[in-house]
Amino acid sequence: MSQSAQNAVIAQSGGPTVVINASLVGVIEAIQETGLAGSIYGARHAVRGMLEDDLVDLTDLPGDQLEQIAATPGATLGSSRDKPDEEYCKKIFQQLAKRDIRYFFYIGGNDSADTCRIVSEVAAAAGHDLKAFHVPKTIDNDLVLNDHTPGFGSAARFVACALIGDSLDNKALPGIKIDVIMGRHAGFLTAASALARSEHGTGPHLIYLPESVFEVEQFIADVDRVYSAMGRCMIAVSEGIHDQSGTAIAQSLAEQFSGEVERDAHGNVQLSGSGALGDHLARLIRERLGHKLRVRADTFGYLQRSFAGCVSKVDAEEARASGRHAVLAAADGLAGASLTLRRVSDSPYQVEYVPVPLAEVAGKTRTMPPSWIEGGCDVNSEFIEYITPLVGPLPQLGSI
Amino acid sequence: MSQSAQNAVIAQSGGPTVVINASLVGVIEAIQETGLAGSIYGARHAVRGMLEDDLVDLTDLPGDQLEQIAATPGATLGSSRDKPDEEYCKKIFQQLAKRDIRYFFYIGGNDSADTCRIVSEVAAAAGHDLKAFHVPKTIDNDLVLNDHTPGFGSAARFVACALIGDSLDNKALPGIKIDVIMGRHAGFLTAASALARSEHGTGPHLIYLPESVFEVEQFIADVDRVYSAMGRCMIAVSEGIHDQSGTAIAQSLAEQFSGEVERDAHGNVQLSGSGALGDHLARLIRERLGHKLRVRADTFGYLQRSFAGCVSKVDAEEARASGRHAVLAAADGLAGASLTLRRVSDSPYQVEYVPVPLAEVAGKTRTMPPSWIEGGCDVNSEFIEYITPLVGPLPQLGSI
């Protein structure tokens, strides 16, 4: 291990994706190339590893191992859902100072950007020169100032491939099918289902996003209209749909059907890792439109962010480049920055990586622009143009 | 359209797969090549299309369109869950006779083999020379006399890729995770989850099949043991698990938790297209092992049989070859046959296609050999050796 005073730590936070390890590798290889830091540490399970000095030495990881890691789903350093407060951040900083860590690269969503910001401020107040960088990651695509975020393209590809297949299944054995997709506040991933549509009759026919108020009566009328016209209906619905008052439909239907509502440590209704919303919507449709209807619901769950082998090439490249650009920003003398992805051109598709002050991204949530949402149950061609290059070419289909 | 008296009809039945269209194309191209029949008809939605003379002419479909269809998930002719009785089969036969149809190729599971058998017998009794062939298809892998069935390898590949990613996710954010996999009576597909295991810590740690009685107390003890030792636990469970009396766990837990039990037209508890079993098992674990545990459940649902882009190459080739061999059997003068896949050699992996009388396959169900099941919650290396060539190479992983 090198004994340079300029060491670096990298950590991965929040829900893993299939390309978050590509960002990790981007940071490692760029430090190796630039010689930015003497030792490169990885913190196990994000902030917890930093707090407990549970670090792994990444300094001399060889290229072939880095390539394997970059292609592996999940967060190989381990992740955490902890949201550290200022006290916690102070302790983290003290641990980092002991190891002469001067660079802190945190790969995660908007909460991670906020942790980065606080650690950075605590260090500054203590007169310690710690340069903190946030590398964007989230399948929800909900970071402000970003055209899109690493992780989203591959998750969107999963959703599109799932809807292609499931729609063809529904066409072969007609019925009403509900697919519940991740996204508590932002509907980008659910909207990606629209990519599945083709001249071969693939759906979805109805798309419900958390950006719009979900009206039960309108929903029933929509399903009835499509089913009456086509004899089948494919529905893509975000787990985060809610009523006028902001109450999650997952919660209000659970109460209506006397079901159980699981809550997380923060008191939020548990949306992921449960099939309850889909099952409740299926029951609602049967109760309102007929008990003999063939109604099925699938909840895509954790496969959306982890499925091995369903990766958008562009997404993997951008995830890796985001990590590299964070190091380049550090080498340029920047600090306290979040790397953002900006689209420079649509044709040919091209992005650039722009560092911005952490506070501009930290803790903020971006949702679907209203101009991309069509009525209460669809997205328009502007959204399709936006998302197409992020997902890559989809399987070609045939029919008779 | 050719006016030869020797016409053929093809239909697809039961749950679609990602390779059932490859079998369809295998039949079509082999008839085109051999000149077995003048006109080739496809029946829309299986027996219903045959009953209602809802046929589409496939005789001159060009090669490039056939290639596209072969690579498309779902049953492009449409499918059906109807189980025709003898009266229904008589009507079908009358329709086929009107069109001078002398060859009947039915791609499906053991129910489809039975339909084939009855139609064939009704035709023989009427003195009509109808040659019926069953082409095997089922992700459940539950046809007797077959080493395995087309559709299984690709569905098993989906399950393996899902478990690889989901296990890495669970390793990054530890907790107890339940994945519910299709298979009411046969556990082959759930057992395929074992392919996900690697030196990188991928699970599953526990595998529950419908071939073994599911004991709730043993299950809780198993989960407790793994979680206590590892701080996490990945569980693969078949939708068809049942207690000593044969009652589905999906049903008994629903009753225990005062939940709703959906039933299909035959009175069977609805297992697919619902997240209920997974949610009930998660609740059971929380109630027994601690309410603060992070317990999540995903139900893979229809994605297992339809996901676009997750195809085993071997499976797709064998599905197509099964269709071709059915036509070759017909050209050899055989009739009333089900094509079976036999493994000739393990190294190199090689199969042959053996026609057997329909009655030997029709309506029978094969389950996992007891010698492949290890204790109550695992499979052994014999099963892994069996399944590996069917699924194809899985994504390579790296870790730190």
pLDDT tier at A260, thresholds 50, 70, 90: low
ipTM: 0.96
Contacts of A243 (CB under 8 A, 6+ apart): A213, A214, A215, A216, A249, A252
pLDDT tier at B77, thresholds 50, 70, 90: very high
Cβ of A273 within 8 Å of Cβ of B259? The answer is no
CATH number listed for the domain at residues B154-308+370-391: 3.40.50.460
> Tens digit of pLDDT for each residue in A196-252?
999 887 889 999 999 999 999 999 999 999 999 999 999 999 999 999 999 999 998
Who among B162, B173, B400 is closest to A69 (CB)?
Answer: B400
| Mean pLDDT, range B389-399, rounded to an integer | 96
pLDDT tier at B266, thresholds 50, 70, 90: low
> Tens digit of pLDDT for each residue in A13-29?
999 999 999 999 999 99
> Tens digit of pLDDT for each residue in A31-80?
999 999 999 999 999 999 999 999 999 999 999 999 999 999 999 999 99
Cβ of A165 within 8 Å of Cβ of B308? The answer is yes
Lowest mean pLDDT among A88-92, A146-150, A284-288: A88-92
List phi, psi (to 5°) of B33.
Answer: -75, -40
Q: What is the pLDDT of residue B5?
A: 62
Residues of A in contact with B260 (CB under 8 A): 257, 283
> Tens digit of pLDDT for each residue in B272-315?
778 999 999 999 999 999 988 999 999 999 999 999 999 999 99
> Tens digit of pLDDT for each residue in A190-206?
999 999 999 887 889 99
User: For domain A154-303+370-391, which CATH number applies: 3.40.190.10, 3.40.50.460, 3.40.50.970, 3.40.50.620?
Assistant: 3.40.50.460
Residue in chain A closest to B73 (alpha carbons) equals A165
Who among A65, A282, A309 is closest to B161 (CB)?
Answer: A309
With a pLDDT cut of 90, the percent of chain B lying above it is 84
Q: What is the pLDDT of residue A2?
A: 41
- List where CATH 3.40.50.450 sits in chain A: 7-150+309-360
Q: What is the pLDDT of residue A243?
A: 96
- List where CATH 3.40.50.460 sits in chain B: 154-308+370-391
Residues of A in contact with B161 (CB under 8 A): 307-310
Strands B373-374 and B349-357: unpaired
Measured CA to CA, the distance from residue B110 to residue B205 in angstroms comes to 32
Q: What is the pLDDT of residue A265?
A: 58
> Tens digit of pLDDT for each residue in B88-129?
988 998 899 899 999 999 999 999 999 999 999 988 998 888
- Using CB atoms within 10 Å of the CB of residue B137, give its burial: 0 to 12 exposed, 13 to 18 middle, 19+ buried: buried
Q: Across all residues in chain A, what is the average pLDDT?
A: 94
Q: Is the pLDDT of residue B2 over 60?
A: no
Name which residue leads in pLDDT, A6 or B352: B352
What's the token pair of residue B10?
């093809």
Who among B42, B72, B310 is closest to A168 (CB)?
Answer: B72
CATH fold for domain B7-150+310-360: Rossmann fold (3.40.50)
Q: Is A140 a catalytic residue?
A: yes
- Using CB atoms within 10 Å of the CB of residue A354, give its burial: 0 to 12 exposed, 13 to 18 middle, 19+ buried: middle
pLDDT tier at B259, thresholds 50, 70, 90: low
Taking CB atoms within 8 Å and a gap of at least 24, the contacts of B121-129 are B122/B86, B122/B89, B122/B90, B122/B93, B123/B93, B123/B96, B123/B97, B126/B93, B126/B97, B128/B93, B128/B97, B129/B102
For residue B101, give Cα distances in angstroms to A199, B37, B96, B238.
Answer: 31, 9, 5, 41
Q: What is the pLDDT of residue B3?
A: 44
Residue type, A314: V
Measured CA to CA, the distance from residue A20 to residue A320 in angstroms comes to 8
Q: Does any CB of chain B come closer than 8 Å to the CB of residue A307?
A: yes
Residues of B in contact with A164 (CB under 8 A): 73, 308
What's the token pair of residue B25?
């194309």
With a pLDDT cut of 70, the percent of chain B lying above it is 97
Measured CA to CA, the distance from residue B163 to residue B202 in angstroms comes to 8
- List where CATH 3.40.50.460 sits in chain A: 154-303+370-391
Q: What is the pLDDT of residue B95?
A: 93
Q: What is the pLDDT of residue A3?
A: 44
Residue type, B291: H
Residue indicated by tokens 């091995």: A308
Q: Does any CB of chain B come closer than 8 Å to the CB of residue A62?
A: no
Lowest mean pLDDT among A1-5, A305-309, B344-348: A1-5
Q: What is the pLDDT of residue B1?
A: 40
> Tens digit of pLDDT for each residue in B128-161?
889 999 999 999 999 999 999 999 999 999 999 9
Residue in chain A closest to B279 (alpha carbons) equals A274
Q: Which of residues 119-178 of A touch B (CB under 8 A)?
A: 161-162, 164-169, 171-173, 177
The dihedral sign for the CA sequence B352, B354, B358, B360? negative
Q: What is the pLDDT of residue B45?
A: 97
Measured CA to CA, the distance from residue A162 to residue B261 in angstroms comes to 26
Q: Does any CB of chain B come closer than 8 Å to the CB of residue A274?
A: yes
pLDDT tier at A322, thresholds 50, 70, 90: very high
- In this structure, are residues A234 and A201 in contact, taking their beta carbons and an 8 Å threshold? no
pLDDT tier at B255, thresholds 50, 70, 90: confident
Lowest mean pLDDT among A271-280, A292-301, A351-360, B314-323: A271-280
B377: closest CA among B147, B152, B214, B154? B214
> Tens digit of pLDDT for each residue in A152-190?
999 999 999 999 999 999 999 999 999 999 999 999 999
Instruction: Quote the Cα angle for B188-B189-B193, to 5°.
Output: 110
- In this structure, are residues A112 and A358 in contact, taking their beta carbons and an 8 Å threshold? no
* pTM for the predicted model, two decimal places: 0.97
Return the HEC string of chain A. Answer: CCCCCCEEEEEECCCCCCCHHHHHHHHHHHHHHHCCCCCEEEECCCHHHHHCCCEEECCCCCHHHHHHHHCCCCCCCCCCCCCCCHHHHHHHHHHHHHCCEEEEEEEECHHHHHHHHHHHHHHHHCCCCCEEEEEECCCCCCCCCCCCCCCHHHHHHHHHHHHHHHHHHHHHCCCEEEEEECCCCCCHHHHHHHHHCCCCCCCCCEEECCCCCCCHHHHHHHHHHHHHHHCCEEEEEECCCECCCCCEHHHHHHHHCCCCCCECCCCCECCCCCCHHHHHHHHHHHHHHCCCCCEEEEECCCHHHHCCCCCCHHHHHHHHHHHHHHHHHHHCCCCCEEEEEEEEEECCEEEEEEEEEHHHCCCCCCCCCHHHEECCCEECHHHHHHHHHHHCCCCCCCCC
Name which residue leads in pLDDT, B82 or A353: A353
CATH number listed for the domain at residues A7-150+309-360: 3.40.50.450
Q: Is the pLDDT of residue A262 over 80?
A: no
B91: closest CA among B132, B119, B62, B125? B119
- List where CATH 3.40.50.450 sits in chain B: 7-150+310-360
